[in-house]
Amino acid sequence: MEPLLTVKDLSVSFNTTDGTVYAVNNISFDLYPGETLALVGESGCGKSVTTMSLLGLIPKISGNNMSGTAVFNDGVSKKDLLKMSEEGIRKVRGGQIGFVFQDPLNSLNPVMTIGQQIAEPLMEHLKIDKNEAERRTIELLERVHIPDAADRIRIYPHELSGGMRQRVMIAIAISCSPKILIADEPTTALDVTIQAQIVDLIENLSKELNLSVIWITHDLSVVAGLADRVLVMYAGTGIEIAQVDELYDYPSHPYTRGLLGALPNPDMESSKRLISIPGSPPDIYTAPYSCVFASRCKFAFDLCHKELPKLVELGNNHQAACFIAEQLRSEYV
Amino acid sequence: MSNENNKTLIEVQDLKVHFYLKASGFFNRKRQAVKAVDGVTFDVRENETFGLVGESGCGKSTTGRGILQLIRPTAGSVRFENIELTKLGKEAIRCMRPKMQMIFQDSYDSLNPRHPIGRIISDPLVIHGIARRGSAELKERVSELMNMVCLNPGYVNRFPHEFSGGQRQRIGVARALALNPKFIVCDESISALDVSIQAQIVNLLQELQEQFGLSYLFIAHDLNMVRFISNRVAVMYIGKIMEMADRQTLFKSPLHPYTKSLISAAPTPNPKFERNRQRIILSGEVPSATNPPKGCVFNTRCPIAFERCSQEIPEYREVAPQHFVACHAV
């Protein structure tokens, strides 16, 4: 099967008054049709910048540097999202690629009714008239399980709860039948029971519409049940990628192990200690020249401080960027 | 850690904290009450971590503040080592404060940005007259506290913004420890931190508990973390406790439908388990505390609600030793 999206060596850096911030460094991944890929990492690891660059939301001004390719294959033609013109990317963004962000209150326009906001991309991308757009808007609201959809199109975002707002965002995201849905921490700001509702909704929609989903999160628990593959990021670098079962069963990068160890297991006795990772993530004012995790890694040796480890194939399509990844993986077998 | 024979440190009886909204209109003098906490009863034992979970707005933080008398309760009693706190005046409460402290969620808002951290940590000692500002004794105590929470004492003159989130939370812990308290309310103290840093702070809290025999009221919405750190857990919903039991019982054999759905909604880092588990997904959202449902507050979302649930408030009763539930169906 051909991938829908092929990201290769994506790097993004920003020149600031404090120096250059190397936000994303040589990230590569494929996204296949119908697949859910999770990007996991802690704050500041570059997961949001990665997807913003795919959506053309990083302004192309001097000081913002972007390199690499992101080839989107919509079945008709192949195009590089990073090299497209502003006009071109507008046709894709919100059309073939839908997106949902963490904070729906900041993502929705407070002075437009939710009906207007859902109808806007419909009229823009599908070139349909107002009445048809309204009919589809009601359909979409029903699809994301908002009760009394026909009346709700006239209300404003502040009249809705957090969970309902997120449903509106999802309705906008799927309005133009996208091929890819980018969900950037869509449930982080929500309560547990509402989080379960939203996860359930996105999972069902992705099955019904055969969507490929890029799910960004900091929480390895949330994506355990819904991702097909997981890419773990640290300090702007992709450090491990594998099928979901393989990754959770045989984490082969010390950072992934640390992340999993930091989560309490339901059956864990509280007399035990969580495995914490000492220190905090590095600042990213230098381009990585050695392993980005070395300063916090308990396995680190000379080489780790000198050379940048590349992703190595460990079998089973499992790759990790660590000099001793093979050894770490075999310890688990 | 603790066991059932430990002495009771804090006894909360039928605690109520109501807030009154402004009356709307001149003739309508009846003020509407928000029953943020509406009759909760539990106790915290010595050397115990008592977990309080619930969704946002359920009154768990207000309960914590009500216990510390940061908000004076509307009704009910809070006894700390058999002293009735709700009856004490302002000065008397101040004398009790050294024994009960709080660690807040947002370490940025709870540390004064204009004060170096040495000042922040030493303030409680100075205010309670334990040491004079500038004395050698105070300096020594501050570096001791900083060592305790694994902060380099050399950073004593730095300001809060120079630290990372995890380090700032350590400063908050050091300040709470300054007066050798017996009881600390941890109000979502780790929620704002990254996963790897969360584990550091949780480990620190547990080490300090063992070292000093502290009791914690651990308020959080992350069920897995509460399950890990607590000895006993209470589940709150719209100002009321729905269920309380020791952590094994509560998580392994929950009785209240709300507890069941909360547990089934909390994801675990286990792909095989997650794919096959049956989630109880609650419909709708948490009703407002201004206008809570009649009868059982959970009846509007409860999958097993029947007629009686919307008419009669279920009694909070002990169904098995040390296992309390408020539900008609149990």
Chain A residue with minimum CA distance to B284: A194
Residue B23 binned pLDDT confidence (cut-offs 50, 70, 90): low
Q: How many helices (H) and strands (E) does chain B have?
A: 10, 12
3-state SS assignment for residue B12:
strand
Average pLDDT over residues B115-123: 95
Chain-chain contact of B199 with A262 (C-beta, under 8 angstroms)? yes
Are B233 and B68 in contact, with CB atoms under 8 Å apart? Answer: no
Phi-psi region of B39 (alpha: psi -120 to 50; beta: other; left: phi over 0): left
Average pLDDT over residues A60-78: 91
3-state SS assignment for residue B198:
helix
Are A120 and A153 in contact, with CB atoms under 8 Å apart? Answer: no
**Which of B150, B195, B242 to substitute to test the interface with A, most A CBs within 10 Å?**
B195
Are A226 and B310 in contact, with CB atoms under 8 Å apart? Answer: no
Rounded CA gap, A108 and B131, in Å?
53
Smallest Cα–Cα separation from A93: which of A39, A51, A136? A51
Query: How distant is the Cα of B134 from the closest Cα of chain A, in angstroms?
Result: 31
Q: What are phi and psi of A252, to 5 degrees?
A: -115, 0
Report the complex ipTM.
Answer: 0.84
**pLDDT computed for residue A280 by the predictor:** 83
Chain-chain contact of A280 with B282 (C-beta, under 8 angstroms)? no
Rounded CA gap, A256 and A325, in Å?
11
**pLDDT computed for residue A270 by the predictor:** 64
Residue B2 binned pLDDT confidence (cut-offs 50, 70, 90): very low
Give the contacts of A34 (CB within 8 A, at least 6 positions apart): A206, A210, A211, A212
The distance in angstroms from the start CA to the end CA of chain A is 30
Burial class of B313 by CB neighbour count within 10 A (0 to 12, 13 to 18, 19+): middle
CA distances from B258 to B237, B241, B282, B317 (A): 8, 11, 9, 16
Question: Which uninterrupted H or E stretch holds B40?
Answer: strand B33-45
The alpha carbon of residue A83 and the mean position of all alpha carbons in its chain are separated, in whole angstroms, by: 21
Least confident among A105-109, B94-98, B254-258: A105-109
3-state SS assignment for residue B149:
coil
What are the residue boundaries of the structural domains of chain A, listed by start?
A: 5-227, 237-332
B243, pLDDT greater than 70: yes
Contacts of B230 in chain A (CB under 8 A): 270
Contacts of A43 in chain B (CB under 8 A): 194
What are the residue boundaries of the structural domains of chain B, listed by start?
A: 8-326
Chain-chain contact of B195 with A263 (C-beta, under 8 angstroms)? yes
Average pLDDT over residues B276-299: 88
CA distances from A215 to A44, A50, A211, A319, B116 (A): 16, 12, 12, 19, 40
- The CATH superfamily assigned to A5-227 is P-loop containing nucleotide triphosphate hydrolases (3.40.50.300)
Chain-chain contact of A261 with B199 (C-beta, under 8 angstroms)? yes
**pLDDT computed for residue B93 by the predictor:** 94
Residue B25 binned pLDDT confidence (cut-offs 50, 70, 90): low
What DSSP string runs through B42-55? EEEETT-EEEEE--
A85, pLDDT greater than 60: yes
CATH number, domain B8-326 = 3.40.50.300
Paired tokens of A329: 């993986």
Smallest Cα–Cα separation from A141: which of A133, A154, A150? A150
- Residue where the block lists tokens 């407070």: A110
Residue A18 binned pLDDT confidence (cut-offs 50, 70, 90): confident
**pLDDT computed for residue B293 by the predictor:** 92
Average pLDDT over residues A247-259: 94
Query: How distant is the Cα of B262 from the closest Cα of chain A, in angstroms?
Result: 6
Q: Which of B196, B223, B269 sits opposite A277 (nearest CB)?
A: B196
Smallest Cα–Cα separation from A55: which of A7, A21, A16, A109? A7
